[in-house]
Structure 1
Amino acid sequence: MPIYAYRCETCGFTKDVLQKVSDAPLTECPSCEKSTFKKQLTAAGFQLKGSGWYVTDFKNGSGSTASPARNTTPATEAPSCGAGECGTGCAAAGDTKSAA
């Protein structure tokens, strides 16, 4: 069930309410008891980014039990090291063994 943020337009009282999507929106303010209690438009609690990873997922292996990170650089994007000029054996240098 989603959590909706409500705010009274009269007194400014705010409250987060756990409701079903099918539930009718609340209209009466629990503080001043006027019918000016309205749902606020808020940002989602998560963001999708990249190919299958959430922005809110663990980063840099900090306690993550998920599968290892994979190279998500698109094939058409030029590597920043100059495609092999760095000499480190990275995926950008053409090391296809490590890029799975």
Structure 2
Amino acid sequence: MPIYEFECSGCGHRFDRLQKLSDPDPSVCPACDVAEVKRRVSAPSFRLAGGGWYETDFKKDGDKKRNLAGDSEAAKPSTPAPSTTSTSSDT
């Protein structure tokens, strides 16, 4: 459930509330009991930074850990391996 921030335009009191998306917003300020509460737009308290955080952090121990977002080798075209058969000539 998301945490929403609210502010009373009457007294300026700010408060947070954990509620579902479908729950109605509070209409009365808990500090002054005035019906002037509005939802504030605020930044989240965490940030998922970096490329490939899911790939590198949540893999099992047996899986190959790699960063797909920053993997420069994935962008390179693959070249065929050199042939292992040798053609030597006896002279």
- Category of TM-score, reference length = shorter chain: 0.5 to 0.7
Separation of aligned partners in 2, 1:26 and 1:15 = 11
Shift of 1:11: 0.4
Separation of aligned partners in 1, 2:71 and 2:11 = 52
The 5 Å alignment of 1:41-52 reads 41-52=41-52
Asked if residue 39 in structure 1 is aligned to residue 39 in structure 2, the reply is: yes
User: What's the C-alpha RMSD, in Å, of the aligned pairs?
Assistant: 2.9
Separation of aligned partners in 1, 2:14 and 2:20 = 19
Q: Compare the two structures and name the one with the higher helix fraction.
A: 2
Separation of aligned partners in 2, 1:32 and 1:11 = 7
**Matched positions, count:** 66
2:72 paired residue number: 75
Structure 1 residue matching 2:16: 3-state secondary structure: strand
Q: Which has the larger radius of gyration?
A: 2
2:8 paired residue number: 8
Does the CA contact (< 8 Å) of 2:29 and 2:37 recur in 1?
yes
Shift of 1:69: 7.0
Uncovered stretches (5+) of structure 2, i.e. residues with no partner: 74-91
Uncovered stretches (5+) of structure 1, i.e. residues with no partner: 59-65, 77-100
Shift of 1:70: 4.3
Could you say which structure has the greater relative contact order, defined with CA pairs below 8 angstroms and 6 or more residues apart?
2
**1:41-88 Cα distance to aligned partner (Å, 9 max, x none):** 11123323333327xxx9xxxxxxx86974564539xxxxxxxxxxxx
Report % sequence identity: 39
TM-score, with normalisation over the residues of structure 1?
A: 0.50
Shift of 1:9: 0.8
The one-letter code sitting in structure 2 at the alignment partner of 1:46 is F
Separation of aligned partners in 1, 2:13 and 2:46 = 26
